[in-house]
Chain A
Amino acid sequence: MTTDQRTLRVLIAKPGLDGHDRGAKVVARALRDAGMEVIYTGIRQTPEMIAEAALQEDVDVVGLSILSGAHLEIFPRVIAELKKRSVDDVTLFCGGIIPAADIPAVKEMGFQAVFGPGTDTNDIIAFLRENATERA
């Protein structure tokens, strides 16, 4: 029930220049079907746009999908833009094509989970339910 449980708000965004958003849309739909409110912003988002959307929508979670290989360049910039706006209490996760060798670096930046191709969407839902931070 919506009244008993806080409805999680999740921003799903695609930074960078690749236009493949099938994965992001599958995740968005699965989260909606799990009762979450998903703000989907479309492709080719700049770090500034993502951070600004996260702020305005007051989301609990930001999920980034990237397939271009630019994650090590773009992700830190998204995090910097979030910090600049004092958006410091969101849960971060990402997906797409992130080579295993880069995962430690991505987690170091603050992403709590990395979901690659073939992930069961139930795992993402379970992760969010468990990790989205309580707020005052």
Chain B
Amino acid sequence: MPSELAEGVVAGNRRALARAISHVEADNAKGRELLADLYARTGRAQTIGITGSAGAGKSTLVGALAREERKRGRTVGIIAVDPSSPFSHGAILGDRIRMQDLTSDGGVFMRSMASRGNLGGLAEMASGVVDLMDAAGFDVVLVETVGAGQDEVEVATATQSTVLVANPGGGDDVQSMKAGLMEIAQIMVVNKADLAGADTAVMQLRGLLAIAEPRAWTPPILKAIARTGEGVPELVDAIDKHQAHVRSDEHAEAERHGLVESQILSLVRAALYREALGAARAEGSIETLVDEVVLRTRDPRSAATTLIDALRSRWMTR
């Protein structure tokens, strides 16, 4: 039986949604129960990831996208992920600054999220929040992440369409993006296209695509100036086109299964990691191993194997 909170989310109660997100973020029992209750009600929203390096103009673009979607009569949920400090685990979440005008729009709900440094858990957390917003009835859910590492690349599994935001003059950036982001992007946009070098950046991206494996969907490369909104309607058109692709043809069927598979696997990975960490910290077993490795009486790999054995025996005795 769905809880009162789950019913509140479905009914579009904003306070219920906000509280539900907190439970999912904390990854507590209530959060997991909510997601289980609400999953059947998801799948209706367009889910879109916006990624790119720091300073690429992602927040501004997300704001512009949201405004354009609102013009088209769609409601918008926004999830903006910022990194947690690796030292204090705290975070300053400042994405609302660029979307101030959207705060008082009843058709928009925005949530800032800290990555919380949980290895592999970021995608898990984000996909849960996407599901909540989907179940709450938002037509479009935008997820903004700093495309800086594996965790962020994985966030792509939480959304159906991923938009890569690049900039003019970012030649080296483009190079480094090859490694992961290129493969996951379904749409590429050169933002700040009023700066010199925009066409060169488009050409570089086109060049990179030309050497990639041909796929059922060829990522379009667009230009935009998020600050003024120029090129944003075209970007929304491109997203709509990809969404239509995802939802219809037979190639998309395989893609959809692939997406769900990687989502399940990333959940398994995060859960296993947490279990392993728990086992490693239990009874101070890791400290002894660390001491031994530091003294070189044991090698790191056999220490890891020992911890995995400990985990296995924890499971056996359950």
Is chain B found bound to chain A in the same assembly? Answer: yes
Q: Which residues of A contact B (CB under 8 A)?
A: 2, 6-7, 9, 28-29, 31-42, 45-46, 48-49, 52-53, 55-58, 85-87
Q: Is the interface of A mostly helix, strand, loop or mixed?
A: mixed
Q: Give the residue of B22, B84, B92 whose beta carbon is less than 8 angstroms from that of A58.
A: B22
* B95 (CB) vs chain A CBs: closest residue: A39
Tell me the B233-254 residues at the A interface (CB within 8 Å). Answer: none
In the complex, the number of residue pairs spanning A and B with C-beta atoms less than 8 Å apart equals 86
Q: Is the interface of B mostly helix, strand, loop or mixed?
A: mixed
Q: Which residues of B contact A (CB under 8 A)?
A: 14-15, 18-19, 21-22, 26, 84-85, 87-94, 96-97, 100, 103-104, 109-112, 114, 116-118
* A12 (CB) vs chain B CBs: closest residue: B92
* A44 (CB) vs chain B CBs: closest residue: B100
Distance in Å: Cβ of B280 to nearest Cβ of chain A: 13
Q: A32-B85, A37-B114, A58-B21 are in contact. Are A49 and B93 (CB under 8 A)?
A: no
**Complex contact A35–B89 (CB within 8 A):** yes
**Complex contact B89–A86 (CB within 8 A):** no
Distance in Å: Cβ of A23 to nearest Cβ of chain B: 15
Q: A2-B89, A2-B116 are in contact. Are A39 and B103 (CB under 8 A)?
A: no
Give the chain B neighbours of A58 by CB distance below 8 A. 18-19, 21-22
**Complex contact A34–B90 (CB within 8 A):** yes
Q: Give the residue of A29, A31, A35, A56 whose beta carbon is less than 8 angstroms from that of B14.
A: A56
Q: A56-B110, A87-B15 are in contact. Are A42 and B21 (CB under 8 A)?
A: no
Give complex CA distance A86, B19 in Å.
Answer: 12
Give complex CA distance A39, B112 in Å.
Answer: 7
Distance in Å: Cβ of A10 to nearest Cβ of chain B: 10
Distance in Å: Cβ of B25 to nearest Cβ of chain A: 9
